[in-house]
């Protein structure tokens, strides 16, 4: 397992108890800090710098650089294409989205 590379200038906060069910959380961005950090990262083959929202052992959410890379032909074998896996929306139809 590689070391975690925390994303500077971007913060994820878990949803508040009184938030509607469709709210997963909120994101705050410090534009200058985040833009400096993201421009210093190496984009993937498609030109993206991918981020992951994770939970620390202490139960606090954080944002880090997603360093996952496919390993050979079996990379798509985990249940669909990478874009749907990352978005978390899979096969949702427009009618399923609350906005």
- Domain hosting 3: range is 1-69
Answering whether pTM is above 0.75, one says no
The answer to whether residue 92 is domain-embedded is no
pLDDT, tens digit, 9 for 90 and up, residues 22-71: 999 999 999 999 999 999 999 998 999 999 999 999 999 999 999 988 88
Which single residue is written with the structure tokens 């944002």?
A: 63
pLDDT, tens digit, 9 for 90 and up, residues 82-99: 444 444 544 445 555 554
Q: Domain tally for the chain?
A: 1
pLDDT at 69: 83
pLDDT at 93: 54
The answer to whether residue 63 is domain-embedded is yes
Between 37 and 78, residue with greater pLDDT: 37
The answer to whether residue 89 is domain-embedded is no
The answer to whether residue 79 is domain-embedded is no
């Amino acid at each position: 397992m590689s070391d975690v590379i925390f994303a500077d200038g971007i913060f994820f906060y878990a949803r508040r108890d009184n938030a509607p069910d469709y709210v997963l959380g909120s994101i705050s961005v410090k534009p200058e800090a985040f833009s400096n950090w993201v421009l210093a990262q190496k984009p993937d083959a498609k030109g993206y710098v991918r981020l992951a929202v994770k939970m620390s052992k202490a139960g606090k959410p954080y944002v880090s650089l997603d360093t996952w890379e496919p390993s050979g032909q079996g990379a798509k074998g985990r249940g669909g294409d990478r874009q749907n896996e990352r978005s978390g929306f899979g096969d949702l139809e427009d009618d399923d989205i609350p906005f």
